[in-house]
Amino acid sequence: MELTTNEKLTVESEKDLIALCKELSQKFATRAAEYDRKATWPVKDYEDIKSAGLLGIMIPKDKGGMGASFLTYTKVQEQLSQGGASTGLTFNMHNITAGILAESKTEGIGGTRGKAMNDFRNWAFSEIIDGRKMFASANSEPGIGAHFSALKTTYQKVDGGFIINGYKLFVSMIGYADYYVVAARREQPSGDLPEISFFIVELDNPGVEIEEIWDTMGMRATVSNNMKIKDCFVPDNRLFLGTEGLGIFKLTREPHWVIGGYIGTYLGLCQATFDYMVGHLQKKKIPGSDQSVITRDWVQHDVGKLSCELAATRALVYRAAAMVDEDRGSPQTNAAIHQSKYMVSEFAPKLASHAIRLCGGSGIAKSLPLERYYRDARCGGLMPATSDECLLYAGKSALGFDLTKIEETYW
Amino acid sequence: MELTTNEKLTVESEKDLIALCKELSQKFATRAAEYDRKATWPVKDYEDIKSAGLLGIMIPKDKGGMGASFLTYTKVQEQLSQGGASTGLTFNMHNITAGILAESKTEGIGGTRGKAMNDFRNWAFSEIIDGRKMFASANSEPGIGAHFSALKTTYQKVDGGFIINGYKLFVSMIGYADYYVVAARREQPSGDLPEISFFIVELDNPGVEIEEIWDTMGMRATVSNNMKIKDCFVPDNRLFLGTEGLGIFKLTREPHWVIGGYIGTYLGLCQATFDYMVGHLQKKKIPGSDQSVITRDWVQHDVGKLSCELAATRALVYRAAAMVDEDRGSPQTNAAIHQSKYMVSEFAPKLASHAIRLCGGSGIAKSLPLERYYRDARCGGLMPATSDECLLYAGKSALGFDLTKIEETYW
Amino acid sequence: MELTTNEKLTVESEKDLIALCKELSQKFATRAAEYDRKATWPVKDYEDIKSAGLLGIMIPKDKGGMGASFLTYTKVQEQLSQGGASTGLTFNMHNITAGILAESKTEGIGGTRGKAMNDFRNWAFSEIIDGRKMFASANSEPGIGAHFSALKTTYQKVDGGFIINGYKLFVSMIGYADYYVVAARREQPSGDLPEISFFIVELDNPGVEIEEIWDTMGMRATVSNNMKIKDCFVPDNRLFLGTEGLGIFKLTREPHWVIGGYIGTYLGLCQATFDYMVGHLQKKKIPGSDQSVITRDWVQHDVGKLSCELAATRALVYRAAAMVDEDRGSPQTNAAIHQSKYMVSEFAPKLASHAIRLCGGSGIAKSLPLERYYRDARCGGLMPATSDECLLYAGKSALGFDLTKIEETYW
Amino acid sequence: MELTTNEKLTVESEKDLIALCKELSQKFATRAAEYDRKATWPVKDYEDIKSAGLLGIMIPKDKGGMGASFLTYTKVQEQLSQGGASTGLTFNMHNITAGILAESKTEGIGGTRGKAMNDFRNWAFSEIIDGRKMFASANSEPGIGAHFSALKTTYQKVDGGFIINGYKLFVSMIGYADYYVVAARREQPSGDLPEISFFIVELDNPGVEIEEIWDTMGMRATVSNNMKIKDCFVPDNRLFLGTEGLGIFKLTREPHWVIGGYIGTYLGLCQATFDYMVGHLQKKKIPGSDQSVITRDWVQHDVGKLSCELAATRALVYRAAAMVDEDRGSPQTNAAIHQSKYMVSEFAPKLASHAIRLCGGSGIAKSLPLERYYRDARCGGLMPATSDECLLYAGKSALGFDLTKIEETYW
């Protein structure tokens, strides 16, 4: 099954889309062990994604994309990530850019700025739809993580463009992606807050160098190496949305992309773990007997508890995603995004740990996927906002703090 | 605000209904401490419920009720139970009867049986709507709990009716309710399974006696005393739905009422606990200072975690309730009902325990509601299906057992 | 069995002592429900304690006491509190005073101060041993809890004594105890820190009034009412240890009494809960059958987990208590005391909650002790140092903070 | 520092021994990453162990060993495993054999059997002490795990020895160890229970073949490949303890070696994880600032909680080990062994998961040890008795089952 990118995403076609993603995911699953072992980009998975027209999933229909809702997107990620968690995670990086652009309303903004915004959007959409190009992001920095208000990478305005200098960590897909959205702060900020802007950088830029240090326990196929940026010139038309200073405001008001983009991926990882566990237990015998272990009631009890937690996690993730569609950027929605990010990120390693315990010795064999799920699962809580940042955010929200104030958040 | 019972429950009026229930709940809250201390029926709460026309919430609109969906009902219970958990719990007992009757489709059943069913439904609906009568249930028995397949209370057919003998425990609202639905098994069953039927018993029946032993830690205002039934004659037209042997099948196929009816109540209790905790912490100072404890980040962190778990619990409860409306009796729906029953029942005492810990010494004072929440909260997991029965059910469901087979369930 | 107070506490006699306390505890158990319901002092339990010579358990042998170690004391409390948690808790208040006095070495302190200290100790020991008098404590204050550095109760030196003014909360045993150790701060402190001193106040002092407000969920028989202190004169020889300003220093350096005194009590409560649960389950049948529920492996699994946690809690409590004997006041010992206080205080309500869940509906009946354990169990974490203060202390300790600095602690 | 093997292990020398092991462990730590990556035997670690005379740690002093107690042994393992968990785990395999032999009292057993036992012990002790030989074990089998009562590997008596046939999994150290203790059952058992005996097999035996399949997530340097045994002749004097049929009885009565041998290793892994976490946090700054993250109170709170659980785990592990020395094989001791095995095995992965969460992104980097701890930590609960078998055992023990009956255990 292949979707053309112009169909309307009715409930019917959301089902088709999910079914398509499930098919792709089953292919990803056959490749995941090797990509994990070698820590290389899941190139064949990306090719499948491109062939299926999924690069434009978030792009508005009138721009040639699928115009998916955030809930649909979350379900798509859930499917794709069951087979390839690193694939889903990096595909999300692409969609953070596409999604933010899709949500940026440019109507009614006239003049030069309006034109610059429109030109940028159209260029980006065209590159994605027609050029099958993928976008990555370069935000994290040493000692800062993804806390934008403390960014050390700087830019200055020069004739015809900007000069960027800095050092970025954890740039997922680096080496494979076509464009890199680089966050930087103005060298001489005009107001109180650092003026964060974003720029599109390409790898053939002489000011850009990949530092290959990626060697991690989990999510290995994201290949998140470092990027060194030295006197890197970027022309005016590669300023993100044609506008300086959009950064912090957007992130504090509408954090669903940079934070909530992950929730589908880790939900998918949870589901893959749970399904593997159930299948394994169904085949496992009570030692020294022909009776299935699933007839033991303590096994049913334990699996039951995990199923309850998975169901609650999914309900929360879907609810949070639906709230993005219904009431984007509201305090309730933002709290829900942080809550769901925390819950799914911490349930994933807990579930994987318990699944190995239930499956027994073979659960740690590299010939089976469970040990990879265990390694991948621990990564979610480290991605921004980290699990503990999410808790602090959720707690402040419940306690009545005003989280539109940047000093109350973790940015 | 008062609702007439004939308005259509559009999204707009669901909001009105919830708002009404919130108002009522605030009244309930002012009375709850006294009802708890005295362990008496929350009579004034019941009067408010009657005045608001809520007795007919589940009754079809063409029969004069509100025809609420299960999701709306769950939200109503959530509201009512915030102020009066025992009130909500007993009101649920009434709605179990009303709800099961409402769902019983009698169209197309002709003949004597169809007439008997219709007559019974119409009588019950009329008693509720016009007579403002409340229904209670008498299921549990010593050594059996609510495991219907092992019921010891028996009935035998006699001229013009039935003779019932037995002993029932935990009959909530006993002494206040107007009608009691009593489960009994045929003395000479015809098939393999005990033939469970239900009968409407009234307290002025000379064969019925209340045994007053109710003295518990929590949910005290449910006044769930015992019922002794000796040679109790019930006329033919008080056989539930005019039909013998409906019991087990209905309960295993569509357990949402007897199990899922509680989820709104305990969700409301969780919300009341959380809200009280937040309000208390907002006023509490760091000992020996004027600074609020909510400025301490470990407090935010802990409250944040509880808020995440509450949000996940609510999302699951709402999802399960919506599934009842969408796909009643399906394996997925039944599993969701059991999962949500487990999650909300066990989160309630965990939350209350943590809330007291955070609020400090005054958290155990009887002048404040928190200690009552703690006591009430522990009761949910004991009601059928118990927390552990829910886990076994959920586990079997996930592991592929066929739960339509009675031997795989806990009945 | 009755111990004379002069025997040497060899390993053999520790066993005898524990056996004696077990006997007493079984008597306490028969009275606990009534004391709980009425919220009155467990007077008969106190009489048993006095008759057994236990008032002097901590007093040195050469002063007529038993000279028990802190580990032995903890085990004694564990026994006594199984039958009467409120009894153990208030008996601990007495021993806080006796224990601190016993540990106060006065040898080598000459002059007036040395004499005053010795006189005070001898007076107190004689009152306890010969007079069978009990000591209580009055520390907590509104908005402060037991944070001594912020005490509002003051004292000033006058001719022949001191004048105290203040307001104390949670004075356990008030009305029954003979002497009350009242913490107060000097009105004009001489240094940076408030100079906290302690005084012995009696109830027939015209400046002292009991405010009867005690009405709580748990530990009801501690009868911890408030004490109003107005222009209360205390003679010089009732200054604690004859010395001003001992307070904060002692508490930060050697917090085992005011914090660690509780650990035996709550361990006993845990054991009582566990034992009740096991006995209940051994008798409980699978609903509708004659088979014991303990044959179900999920029950074994759950009980096994609770037994592991109880065993770990006990091992930690005993280890912490032994460290007090081996290395009193060391950073390691103080950390262990806080760790054990946290663990046992939070395990108690968790265990009680789970025990009710496993025991089922009768677990909330007031005719059985389990519901009382549940209510009592939630109180431990609220007593100083609260569970969260313990965690912060333990965390700082692990992270290398210097907890002899008062600003790093919670005092 | 090097210990001669003949010194008496007084309290003083236990300290020396622990200090020595700490030194060795620091060396192991520098090699662990490479052994893990390559999944090769930690040969240099073994050489250090041999040079320090530790091979004979469990062998009685009169046989040239150290005669360590089980508690001392557990502390030694705790130290060694902090630097090299796989090293500790395989060294434990050696000591299971040495320890069981050391505990086998042969005095008073006369005749041929007594002589055979003595000869075997002396041979094994001499090989270890004088020959620096290491013993491994081959117990687990496909579909059976280490459940001895269902063993499929068989032996039959032939002239001058025995012929063994079977297939063993998870033979740690295979290829490096000198001798392999192989469990097998008599082909024609004489009584009801299978007659399990143990034999010493060497790798140069033509009937033995190593199947190299070891590729796991954790404990990689244990190199636990499979062993194929075909028509393998073992002479009479390589029958373990010169006696057939010792197996099941010994294991059910005194399971501390095969189960409790692991507890020191996993406690060490916990300690290494905790220490790494603390050191990492002490250096970590709040993002974008120069302030240490350990000044945030939520970090103290979380670390405090983990420190409490670690302290409780250690207290339980030490207590269980001490009970082996005090009361070997008693029901209480066996329960404590199972409880401690469960607690330490499940705390290890929980702690490692939380430590990574607190340490942040670098926690998953292979250049740091934390991710290895996370992978290794998940293995403990899979080793016999598995975490869930331990729970069932502990539960049955608490509920009053007689665990000397083989049908009540998991063997």
Contact B304 A343 (CB under 8 A): no
Query: What is the amino acid identity at position B345?
Result: S
Average predicted confidence (pLDDT) for chain B: 94
- pLDDT score at A9: 62
Task: For residue A267, count CB atoms less than 10 angstroms from its CB and return exposed for 0-12, middle for 13-18, buried for 19 or more.
Answer: buried
Contact A374 D379 (CB under 8 A): no
HSE-up (13 A, CA, CB side) for residue C286: 15
Reply yes or no on whether the pLDDT at A299 is more than 80: yes
Q: Which residues neighbour D397 within 8 Å (Cβ) at sequence distance 6 or greater?
A: C304, C307, D331, D334, D335, D338, D403
Residues in D touching B302 (Cβ below 8 Å): 301
Give the residue with greater pLDDT, D315 vs B254. D315
Mean pLDDT of D294-314: 98
Contact B342 A308 (CB under 8 A): yes
Reply yes or no on whether the pLDDT at B1 is more than 60: no
Contact A353 D353 (CB under 8 A): yes
Integer angstrom CA distances of residue B402 from A295, B254, B331: 13, 14, 9
- pLDDT score at D11: 60
Nearest CA in chain C to D299: C395
Residue-wise pLDDT for A213-247, tens only, equals: 999 999 999 999 999 999 999 999 999 999 898 77
Weakest-pLDDT range from C7-21, C330-344, C397-411? C7-21
Q: With pLDDT > 70 as the criterion, what percentage of chain C qualifies?
A: 97
Residue-wise pLDDT for D204-261, tens only, equals: 999 999 999 999 999 999 999 999 999 999 999 999 999 898 777 777 788 999 999 9
Distance of alpha carbon A28 from alpha carbon A52, whole angstroms: 14
- pLDDT score at D150: 87
- pLDDT score at D259: 95
C-beta of residue A120 within 8 angstroms of C-beta of residue A240: yes
C-beta of residue A49 within 8 angstroms of C-beta of residue A57: no
Residue-wise pLDDT for A321-331, tens only, equals: 999 999 999 99
The band of B3, judged by pLDDT with boundaries at 50, 70 and 90, is low
3 state DSSP class of B56: helix
Identify the residue whose tokens are 């990453």: D33
Residue-wise pLDDT for B168-209, tens only, equals: 999 999 999 999 999 999 998 777 777 899 999 999 999 999
Mean pLDDT of B339-367: 97
Residue-wise pLDDT for B282-321, tens only, equals: 999 998 889 999 999 999 999 999 999 999 999 999 999 9
Of residues D309, D353, D300, the one with CA closest to residue B299: D300
pTM over 0.90: yes
DSSP labels for C5-73? TTS---HHHHHHHHHHHHHHHHHHHHHHHHHHHHT---HHHHHHHHHTTGGGTTS-GGGTS----HHHH
Query: A196-201 and A179-186 as β-strands: parallel, antiparallel, unpaired?
Result: antiparallel
Mean pLDDT of B114-119: 93
**Best C34, C171, C216 residue to mutate vs chain B (most B CBs within 10 Å):** C216
- pLDDT score at B250: 75
Mean pLDDT of C38-66: 97
* Token reading at D31: 């090699």
Nearest CA in chain B to C285: B143
A300: closest CA of chain C, how far (Å): 9
Contact C335 D282 (CB under 8 A): no
3 state DSSP class of B328: coil
Weakest-pLDDT range from B9-13, D105-109, D369-373, D377-381? B9-13
Distance of alpha carbon A229 from alpha carbon A209, whole angstroms: 7
Reply yes or no on whether the pLDDT at D190 is more than 90: no
C-beta of residue C231 within 8 angstroms of C-beta of residue C207: yes
C-beta of residue C201 within 8 angstroms of C-beta of residue C194: no
Q: With pLDDT > 90 as the criterion, what percentage of chain D qualifies?
A: 85
Q: Which residues neighbour A278 within 8 Å (Cβ) at sequence distance 6 or greater?
A: A303, B398, B399, B400
Weakest-pLDDT range from A71-75, B247-251, C212-216? B247-251
Reply yes or no on whether the pLDDT at C6 is more than 50: no
Give the residue with greater pLDDT, D288 vs C44. C44
Instruction: Tally Cβ neighbours within 10 Å of residue D318.
Output: 20
C-beta of residue D390 within 8 angstroms of C-beta of residue D342: yes
CA-only gyration radius of chain A, Å: 22
* Token reading at D220: 């990689």
Q: With pLDDT > 90 as the criterion, what percentage of chain C qualifies?
A: 85
- pLDDT score at A194: 75
Residues in D touching A387 (Cβ below 8 Å): 357
C-beta of residue D149 within 8 angstroms of C-beta of residue D406: yes
D135 forms beta bridges with D179
- pLDDT score at C188: 81
Distance of alpha carbon B402 from alpha carbon B408, whole angstroms: 7
DSSP labels for B170-198? EETTTTT-SEEEEEEEESS-SSSS--EEE
- pLDDT score at C287: 87
Nearest CA in chain C to A299: C298
Q: Which residues neighbour A240 within 8 Å (Cβ) at sequence distance 6 or greater?
A: A120, A181, A197, A198, A199, A200, A246
Distance of alpha carbon D274 from alpha carbon D354, whole angstroms: 10
- pLDDT score at D2: 53
Distance of alpha carbon D61 from alpha carbon D6, whole angstroms: 6
Residue-wise pLDDT for C233-252, tens only, equals: 999 999 999 999 877 777 77
Pinpoint the alpha helices (H) of A208-360: 247-253, 263-283, 297-327, 331-359
Identify the residue whose tokens are 């419920």: B49
Mean pLDDT of A306-316: 98
Task: For residue A314, count CB atoms less than 10 angstroms from its CB and return exposed for 0-12, middle for 13-18, buried for 19 or more.
Answer: buried
Q: With pLDDT > 90 as the criterion, what percentage of chain B qualifies?
A: 85
Reply yes or no on whether the pLDDT at C132 is more than 70: yes
Distance of alpha carbon D132 from alpha carbon D90, whole angstroms: 15
Residues in C touching B298 (Cβ below 8 Å): 388, 391-392
- pLDDT score at A232: 98
Identify the residue whose tokens are 């850009």: A208
Residue-wise pLDDT for A83-135, tens only, equals: 999 999 999 999 999 999 999 887 778 888 899 999 999 999 999 999 999 99
Residue-wise pLDDT for C328-359, tens only, equals: 999 999 999 999 999 999 999 999 999 999 99
Residues in C touching D345 (Cβ below 8 Å): none
Residue-wise pLDDT for D22-65, tens only, equals: 999 999 999 999 999 999 999 999 999 999 999 999 999 999 99
Residues in chain B: 411
- pLDDT score at D6: 47
* Token reading at C128: 């306890």
Reply yes or no on whether the pLDDT at D269 is more than 80: yes
Reply yes or no on whether the pLDDT at C11 is more than 70: no
Say how far residue C297 (Cα) sits from the centre of its chain. Answer: 38
Residue-wise pLDDT for A341-362, tens only, equals: 999 999 999 999 999 999 999 9
DSSP symbol at C226 = E
Query: Helices D85-103 and D70-83: crossing angle, nearest 10°?
Result: 160
Task: Count Cβ neighbours within 10 Å for each residue of C281-309 and write b for 16 or more, e otherwise.
Answer: beebebbbeeeebbebbbbbbbbbbbbbb
Among partner residues B140, B365, B410, which is closest to C215 by beta-carbon distance?
A: B365
Contact C145 B353 (CB under 8 A): no
Residues in A touching C301 (Cβ below 8 Å): 298, 301-302
Distance of alpha carbon B365 from alpha carbon C213, whole angstroms: 10
Mean pLDDT of B264-269: 98
Residue-wise pLDDT for D336-392, tens only, equals: 999 999 999 999 999 999 999 999 999 999 999 999 999 999 999 999 999 999 999
Distance of alpha carbon A137 from alpha carbon A222, whole angstroms: 12
